[in-house]
Amino acid sequence: MKYKTSLIGIFSAVTIWQIIAWLKIFNPIYFASPYEVIAESIKMIQGGAVFIDLTLTIYRIAVSVIISSLIGIPLGIAFGYFARIYKYVGEIVDFLRSIPPIVIYPLLLIVLGPGDSSRIGVALFGSIVVLVLIISNGLFQQAPLRRQYFASLGANKVQLVNHIVWYEALPHVMVALRTAVSLSIIIIVVTEMLVGAQYGLGTRVQNVQITSNIPDLFVTIIIIGLIGVLFNKTLICLDKKLVFWKSN
Amino acid sequence: MIEIKNLKKKFFCNGSNKSLFSGFDLVIRKSEKIGLFAPNGSGKSTLLNILAGVDKDFAGTVSIEGKRISYMHQDTNATLAPWFTCEKNILLVRKYHHLGIEKGKALLKRFVNEIEINFSLDQYPFMLSGGQRQIVALLRALIFEPDVLLLDEPFSALDIEKRAAFIEFLTKHFTNNLTVIMCSHRGDEVKSLLDRAVILEHQSETRITMDICRSKFHSKQEFEQIISKIRFKKNGHEI
């Protein structure tokens, strides 16, 4: 039923898009119709170059998300559990959150060069701060009773983290991951557009400026959107499996 | 022995600090089975939280003899881990006290047979009713063979049949070495389990209004007759 309603929604949106194209509400030079987009997609698939761009963008996003998770999740849990530490670092984390991640790109370009490291570095900066903030604040909001109770039953600090705090943090970890993924997609695509990348969906978007291939731009935008949907849906599925007690 | 000396505890309510305990004293001898009876809001649960170490925000001295203190909290929803099965919830505490899990499993099987539980412990706590969760919490409280057992209204969500089965079960498992403190509203439910009843009252602070010891009575029946008359309503008590 859910898929049926989603399909009706998508079909309606495409129909409206096609009608707008037919009526020429926008200049056809800048506004590709669904028909043109489909035709361009077939051409792009046959050409194969888009797959290199797609693979490299997904690779950069995936590396950013994995590394930021490995750093951000333990830090978020530590700050959330040991509120005393957060008192010292809270202001710094808040300050870092206020910096738009993209502004550190020029610095990373100087330090790391124009390769993938600087692009992934910017995504890491943004994602880690988001993970730390959402997870630690989520844990702050948890009632302390369960932790206090298990401690009273004899659980030591490590057992408390393994048996209670980790599971209390898990719903917040999933929310933080979804936000971090969205942020990583934005940062990676934008940095691909800026400088140094030979391949990537951001580079492809940038190249359209030169070739003025509007259907290609539309297809690339749709692909970027689909990457977001794919990552998001995967995390929602994972959330339902891992945080099974939340919906009950 | 459990000794509470000059206990002071305040709580924040409606924008001001209110005193719950102000110089409260209570001594419980080793292996004594004591019932705490009081209307709601008199500090029974707070006292158990303090004794268990859940609440550390108090002044005064609380000393407990005994290595293993087991506490069955009133709020089973918040004190069972919903991400673990009931069996794991029960057995986990044995791990905390470095006790054998296999022996724990055998003990649990014995408990289950004794009280004839009609639900599977492979389920998660959120799949159970309030009464079933209370049974799981009770089993957890007993599984690690404690020296001190703190029970906060342990039968409140159980039906009459299960309550009777559990009282019989506890009578069997209240060994001579075990010290028990049990909070309740009704004496008739738990009379057979106790050898002392302490009645609390909260006016401006909580104080003991009556302390009834079984040793002061000629017979067990006489003691139980008195205890069974204790019955608290929400805003007062009648003895």
Same domain for A89 and A209: yes
- Is the domain of A14 the same as that of A112? no
Which range marks the domain in which residue A14 is found? 1-31
Between A149, A155, A248, which is nearest B54 by CB? A149
Residues A18 and A67 in one domain: no
A27 and A110, same domain (yes or no)? no
Q: Are A146 and B73 inside 8 Å of each other by CB?
A: no
Using an 8 Å CB-CB cutoff, list chain A residues near B126: 245, 248
Residue A247 lies in a domain: no
Q: How far is CA A248 from the centre of its chain?
A: 27
Instruction: Check the CA dihedral A93-A98-A104-A105 and report its sign.
Output: positive
B196-202 vs B33-37, strand pairing mode: parallel
Closest Cβ–Cβ partner in B73, B83, B144 for A149: B73
Instruction: List, in order, residues 6 or more apart from A176 with CB less than 8 Å away.
Output: A72, A73, A76, A130, A131, A133, A134, A135, A138
- DSSP characters over B128-182: S-HHHHHHHHHHHHHHT--SEEEEESTTTTS-HHHHHHHHHHHHHH--TT-EEEE
The domain that contains A58 carries what CATH number? 1.10.3720.10
- Per-residue model confidence as pLDDT tens for chain A (248 residues): 678 888 999 999 999 999 999 998 898 888 999 999 999 999 999 988 899 999 999 999 999 999 999 999 999 999 999 888 888 888 899 899 999 999 999 999 999 988 899 999 999 999 999 999 999 999 999 889 999 999 999 999 999 999 999 999 999 999 999 999 999 999 999 999 998 788 999 999 998 878 888 999 999 999 999 999 999 999 999 999 999 998 76
CB contacts under 8 A, A 164-203 vs B, are 164, 167
The domain spans of chain B are 1-65+182-232
Residue-level length of chain B: 239
Q: Quick check: B77 contacting A, CB < 8 Å? A: no
What residues form DSSP beta bridges with B34? B181, B196
Domain-located, residue A248? no
Q: Which of A143, A152, A245 sits opposite B52 (nearest CB)?
A: A152
Residue B11 contacts A where some CB pair is shorter than 8 Å: no
Q: How far apart are CA B206 and CA B183, in angstroms?
A: 15
Token pair recorded at residue B223: 């003691």
Residues of A in contact with B69 (CB under 8 A): 152
Q: Are B194 and B33 in contact (CB under 8 A)?
A: yes
- pTM for the model stands at 0.86
* Tally of domains within chain A: 2
Distance CA B132, CA B125 (A): 9
Q: Give chain B's largest Cα–Cα span.
A: 51
Please name every residue paired with B179 in a beta bridge, in sequence order, or none if there are none. Answer: B148
Mean pLDDT of B32-50: 89
Class of domain B1-65+182-232: alpha beta
Mean pLDDT to the nearest integer, B130-156: 91
Select the residue from B45, B47, B54, B77 to test the A interface by mutation, using most A Cβ atoms within 10 A: B54
Q: What is the nearest CA distance from B122 to chain A, expressed in angstroms?
A: 14
Please tell me the distance from the alpha carbon of residue B30 to that of residue A133, in angstroms, as a whole number.
Answer: 49
- B22-27: Cβ within 8 A, 24+ apart: B22/B204, B22/B205, B23/B60, B23/B205, B24/B60, B24/B205, B24/B206, B24/B207, B26/B2, B26/B198, B26/B208, B27/B1, B27/B2, B27/B3
Chain B residue closest in CA terms to A241: B83
Residue B239 has pLDDT above 50, yes or no: no
Are A84 and A19 in the same domain?
Answer: no
